[in-house]
Structure formats: structure tokens, C-alpha cells
Amino acid sequence: MWHIRSNRPRPVPDRCGDGRHVLRTARLVLYTPRDVLDVEVAKAAGADAEAQRWLGWPADTLVNAETAEHLLGIDDRNRSERLRAFPASMRRELTRAMPLPGPGETQWLLAVDAATGRVAGMSSLTPDDDGTLGLRLAPAYRGQGLGTELVAATARFGHAHFGLHTVRAGTETSNDNCRRALGAAGFEPCDGPARHTLPDGRVTDAAWYRHGTGSTSRCASVRESAVTRG
């Protein structure tokens, strides 16, 4: 378990280990969320109306625009200052360490802009669900090709960290930006359910994609978890 005793975050590791993962791309650093604040900032990245058109989260789970702007302005240098805007009880919750996912559970990767240290988005991978991935980008980081970069990194996460030969992704048929990003990241169309129900109950037409590789491996964190379970 991680013990966070102040508003200072645990440093981003140089390599995978202790159940945590880290990847780097040309413009992003991706790593396992350290605490609740990491997750809440990533949620804020998808709280706007444009993102919710595709994500469909229940309305009572969304933060308002002012709170989202405050959260998305957080980086490790101004973290303590921005946390002071919240009540003490909320600060304690936000600095609580995030439990690590169990075997086969969804793995989350916080995507941070390497140049500014601010959260650009988040991606997910569920090894036990056919290696299905998902992602979101903050408004300020859309339209810059980072969707392709994040999709490609998450596919690599599945292949090179969890040994998955195939990673899958689904999107609404009318989501042209997402479909272009998947294609640019090397995903190919594949069979899948024609309809998909979003968390808020909306039913959409779905398009499915797969990314295969002939080369797989398992990183230190996955190997350590296997030894622990054994």
C-alpha cells in the first residue's frame, strides 16, 4: 500500500514496479494514478459537454465547469496551493492513496503533458475483457494528435506489459475523431456488438477495432504480481 502523508505526491517512477506502471511517448508521460486527486483530475478531463456526448456518464457524477478548470490547472508544482481551495475533509480524501487494481481488473494510466506537468487525459485497459481500452482527453489537448498518441501507448501497454496479443476498442459509429485516431494508431476494424449502452442509459451504434502484435511481454509489475499470487 502507498502511504501519502502530505499534499506532496509520490514521485513518478522511472520504471514499472511495485504494482505501478509507467510509459513515455513523444509528448506524454503515462503512469498508474498515485492518489484520489490524480483520478479526480482525470475525470475532470471528460466532464465537459463535448466529451459527454460520447462518454455518457451519469449527470450526478460530473463536476461543474469551474471545478473542472481548477482541477485541470493542477500540476505537481502548484498542487499544495490548489488543494487549499478544498475543505480539510476533502483534502484528506484527495490525498488518499489509490488502491492498486487486482489481477484482470481495469488498469488506469494518467496521461501527463511532459512539457507542463498538467494532466492531458487518462486511458484504461481491461486485460480480462478482451484487452478493451478506453480514453479521454482534456479540452485543451484535443485536436493535436494526442488521441492517436494515447491510443497507441495504451495498445503498447497491453502488448508489452500484460502480454496481450490483441487489444480492442469500441466507439460510436459517428465519432469520426476517435475512429481516425484508432486508424492512425494501427487499429483495424473488427466484429463486435452493433449496439452499446452508455453509463447514462443511452444506446448508440457501435464500431469495433482491434490492434494485434506478434511480440508480447510482461513488465516487472505484472511479473511481481504473479509471484505474489503464487
Query: Chain-wide mean pLDDT for the chain?
Result: 91
The whole domain housing 163 covers 22-224
pLDDT at 4 over 50: no
State percent of the chain over pLDDT 90: 80
Three-state secondary structure string covering 79-109: HHHHHCCCCHHHHHHHCCECCCCCCCCCEEE
The DSSP element (H or E) to which 112 belongs, if any, is strand 107-113
- pLDDT, one tens digit per residue, over 111-132 is 999 999 999 999 999 998 888 9
Confidence of residue 7 (pLDDT cuts 50, 70, 90): low
First to last CA, the chain: 19
**Quick check: is 175 in a domain?**
yes
- d(CA 166, CA 3) in angstroms, rounded, equals 35
List of long-range contacts for 80-86, beta carbons under 8 Å, 24+ apart = 80/7, 80/8, 83/7, 83/37
Residue 2 has pLDDT above 50, yes or no: no
As a three-state string, the secondary structure of 18-48 is: CCECEEECCCEEEECCCEHHHHHHHHHCCCC
Enumerate the H helices of 59-211 as residue ranges. 65-72, 79-83, 88-94, 146-162, 176-184
In a domain, 183, yes or no: yes
Asked whether residue 230 is domain-assigned, the answer is: no
Q: Which residue has the higher pLDDT, 156 or 220?
A: 156
Q: What is the largest CA-CA distance in the chain?
A: 51
> Which of 218, 211, 208 minimizes the C-alpha distance to 155?
211
List pLDDT tens digits, range 131-167.
899 999 999 999 999 999 999 999 999 999 999 999 9
What are the distances in angstroms from CA 8 to CA 72, 77, 78, 91, 198? 17, 9, 10, 12, 36
CATH assignment of the domain containing 180: 3.40.630.30
Q: SS3 of 138, please?
A: coil
**Could you tell me if residue 89 is inside a domain?**
yes
* Count of the separate structural domains present in the chain: 1
Q: What is the mean pLDDT of residues 23-31?
A: 96
> Cβ(9)–Cβ(76) under 8 Å?
yes
pLDDT of residue 222: 84
pTM: 0.90
Q: Is 148 contained in some domain?
A: yes
Residue 13, in any domain of the structure? no
Examine residue 4 and state whether it is found in any structural domain, yes or no.
no
SS3 at position 228: helix
CB atoms within 10 A of CB 113: 18
Flag whether 52 is in a domain. Answer: yes
